[in-house]
């Protein structure tokens, strides 16, 4: 039995060919060729006007928040259960992340808690589509519109997810994506900023080039202090190939999830939801044990490790980390995080390997079941 990774990319001859071409020919006047091609193709895929390739999703969020004017003393609302990269960019700008509780079903932002957390210092709401699950965008956009607060989509994990006919990342003031090596679409490291807002696009484009506006006629003359979050042409070449295969890559993730869901359906657990009117890309299949079941997450993770399987714990509530204020009132976040694991998912995982994972989940849920 071989090692089972929790995630790995799908790389074919097409990615290798494009990367080799970029390495051999993507210099001088052609140094942005694959970058421009990726940006244009990604914007078309998402149905938005503008896309800017970045070195990470974190960089895309940082520049977007800066372009919205987020600064010292401001507050940015987001869900407590998230990877730290969703909250960190606000702190770079001197703002304070306000961590609110999640919904039981989607594990994403609870709109009621968002509304209650809004103050006169709130400058943005970050809707993170966790593990491919979709936030309640209708409710969040309504709050944003009524309170005059931009809603941002962190779609790092949600390429391929669709909310009522619109792709994740295309609905907010701006969207941010990750192309890390574990994601459905990868460039190794990398990300994308997307928006329909012409003014916001121009600001982020300027920020992304060390503050040099594309309309500035003087060479090496920045108009503001900017950032360096550029994607390389070599990375973009891989991204172009991945984007040509995106429907195949998404379909594979959904097929892997469907196999897990079918074989775990009789256990007292919940998995990633797909409400009516939505499509979940199921980037990371997750299992949450029911509250009335005795379940030891760490014991299951240790069993995975002993079986040469890369299982992952669910994200910790950020309010449990030492750099953020403690929020014990976020009871749903703490309960779900403690009773959940992520299951391995990648393009060429075999049914036999999935069965190994399923058998371990079954054994640990059944051992502790009170039913």
Segment 297-318, tens digit of pLDDT: 999 999 999 999 998 999 999 9
Hey, which residues does 76 pair with through a beta bridge? 97, 124
Would you say 77 and 124 are in contact if contact means Cβ atoms under 8 Å apart? yes
Phi, psi of 78 (to 5 degrees): -155, 170
Which are the catalytic amino acids? 183
State the average pLDDT for the chain: 96
pLDDT-derived band at 365, boundaries 50, 70, 90: confident
Give the per-residue pLDDT at 299.
95
Phi, psi of 342 (to 5 degrees): -100, 140
Please say if the pLDDT value at position 371 is more than 50: no
Give the per-residue pLDDT at 262.
98
In the chain, pLDDT over 70 holds for what percent of residues? 98
pLDDT-derived band at 367, boundaries 50, 70, 90: low
Please say if the pLDDT value at position 52 is more than 80: yes
Pairing of strands 122-128, 151-154: parallel
CATH of domain 246-368: 3.90.1150.10
* Residue burial 320-332, b: 16+ Cβ < 10 Å; e: rest: beeebeebeebeb
Please say if the pLDDT value at position 3 is more than 70: yes
Give the per-residue pLDDT at 91.
98
Per-residue pLDDT of 130-169, as tens digits, reads: 999 999 999 999 999 999 999 999 999 999 999 999 999 9
Residues of the chain with CATH 3.90.1150.10: 246-368
In the chain, pLDDT over 90 holds for what percent of residues? 96
Region 208-234 average pLDDT: 94
CATH of domain 13-244: 3.40.640.10
Q: CA separation (Å) from 55 to 160, 235, 287?
A: 20, 9, 31
Give the per-residue pLDDT at 218.
93
Give the per-residue pLDDT at 352.
97
Residues of the chain with CATH 3.40.640.10: 13-244
Region 26-46 average pLDDT: 97
Would you say 36 and 233 are in contact if contact means Cβ atoms under 8 Å apart? no
Global pTM value: 0.96
**Cα(334)–Cα(323) distance, integer angstroms:** 17
pLDDT-derived band at 320, boundaries 50, 70, 90: very high
Region 95-104 average pLDDT: 98
One DSSP character per residue, 123-157 reads: EEEEEE-GGGPPP-HHHHHHHHHHHT--EEEE-TT
């Amino acid at each position: 039995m071989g090692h089972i990774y929790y995630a790995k990319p799908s790389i074919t001859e097409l990615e290798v060919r494009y990367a080799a071409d970029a390495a051999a020919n993507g210099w001088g006047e052609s140094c942005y060729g694959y970058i421009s091609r990726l940006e244009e193709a990604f914007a078309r895929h998402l149905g938005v006007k503008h896309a800017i390739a970045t070195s990470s999703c974190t960089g895309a969020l940082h520049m977007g928040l800066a372009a919205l004017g987020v600064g010292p003393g401001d507050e940015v609302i987001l869900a407590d259960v998230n990877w730290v990269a969703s909250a960190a960019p606000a702190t770079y700008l001197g703002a304070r992340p306000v961590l609110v509780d999640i919904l039981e079903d989607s594990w994403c932002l609870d709109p009621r808690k968002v509304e209650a957390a809004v103050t006169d210092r709130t400058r943005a709401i970050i809707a993170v589509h966790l593990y491919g699950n979709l936030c309640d965008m209708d409710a969040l956009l309504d709050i944003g519109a009524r309170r005059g607060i931009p809603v941002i989509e962190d779609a790092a994990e949600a390429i391929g997810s669709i909310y009522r006919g619109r792709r994740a990342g295309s609905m907010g003031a701006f969207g941010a994506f990750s192309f890390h090596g574990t994601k459905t679409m990868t460039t190794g490291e990398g990300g994308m900023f997307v928006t329909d807002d012409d003014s916001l696009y121009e600001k982020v484009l300027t920020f992304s080039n060390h503050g040099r506006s594309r309309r500035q006629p003087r060479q090496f003359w920045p108009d503001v202090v900017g950032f360096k979050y550029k994607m390389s042409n070599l990375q973009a070449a891989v991204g172009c190939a991945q984007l040509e295969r995106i429907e195949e890559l998404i379909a594979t993730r959904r097929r892997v999830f469907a196999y897990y869901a079918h074989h775990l359906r009789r256990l007292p657990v919940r998995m990633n939801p797909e409400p009516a009117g939505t499509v979940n890309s199921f980037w990371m299949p997750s299992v949450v044990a029911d509250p009335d079941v005795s379940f030891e997450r760490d014991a299951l993770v240790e069993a995975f490790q002993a079986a040469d399987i890369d299982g992952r714990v669910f994200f910790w509530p950020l309010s449990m980390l030492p750099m953020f204020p403690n929020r014990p009132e976020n009871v749903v976040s703490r309960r779900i995080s403690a009773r959940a694991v992520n299951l391995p998912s990648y393009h060429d995982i075999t049914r036999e390997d999935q069965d190994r994972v399923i058998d371990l989940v079954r054994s640990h849920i059944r051992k502790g079941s009170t039913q």
